[in-house]
Amino acid sequence: MSKREERIEGLRRRGEFERETLAREVADMTEEAERRKARWKTVSLLAGGAAAAGTVAYKLFGRSSLSARLGRAATVLSLIFSMGRAVGRSRRFW
């Protein structure tokens, strides 16, 4: 073999080695990207679920919810009934 052919052969072997190394590194990077993508997908699903649960809880138990309005109405009615009972008891003494 001539020097030129030896040099070409050496470059070809070096190219094969570097190609294999590069392919391995690209595969590793792809796997890492897929792992991170799966992790963020899980995190986003959990965050979305928490936001939905918070919204539902606020609608059910927030300041303007039906249960809050009923609670305020029950408090007012309780005061009215208590006052009526007190008036009724005080009339016994007159």
Query: What is the chain's mean pLDDT, rounded?
Result: 88
* Residue 94 pLDDT > 70: no
Q: Give how far Cα 69 sits from Cα of 22, 54, 57, 79, 81, Å.
A: 66, 19, 15, 15, 18
CB 76 within 8 A of CB 83: no
CB 78 within 8 A of CB 86: no
CB 87 within 8 A of CB 80: no
Confidence (pLDDT) at 1: 64
Q: What is the pTM of this model?
A: 0.52
